[in-house]
Amino acid sequence: MKEVLRTNDLVLISFVRSLFEDAGIAHLVLDNHMSTVEGSLGVLPRRVLVGEDVLSVAHRVLKENGLAHEIRET
């Protein structure tokens, strides 16, 4: 799996999840429960990962929806 996005913005995470679900892109959000460890400060970013086989499709979906600046190049 490859990371496509890293952010503290929960609204952005929700939007990206919705975009990927609509496009049929399987994805995984990591560090979703780290707020418990950090004391709910929102300091640790959440990461969105997709399979390597759909990475280019995920990038295209993000770009088409004005989120090119959010793409994490790995």
Per-residue model confidence as pLDDT tens digits over 21-57:
999 999 999 987 765 555 555 668 899 999 999 999 9
Provide the angle, in degrees to the nearest 10, between the axes of the packed helices 55-64 and 10-23.
Answer: 120
Instruction: Check residue 74 and give its pLDDT.
Output: 66
Q: Return the DSSP state at 45.
A: P
* Integer CA distances (angstroms), 1 to 10, 19, 38, in order: 21, 18, 25
pLDDT at 73: 82
Question: What pLDDT, on the 0 to 100 scale, is given for residue 70?
Answer: 94
The count of domains in the chain is 1
State residue 24's pLDDT score. 97
Domain around 15: 2-70
- What is the value of pTM for the model shown? 0.85
Domain harbouring 57, CATH code: 3.30.70.790
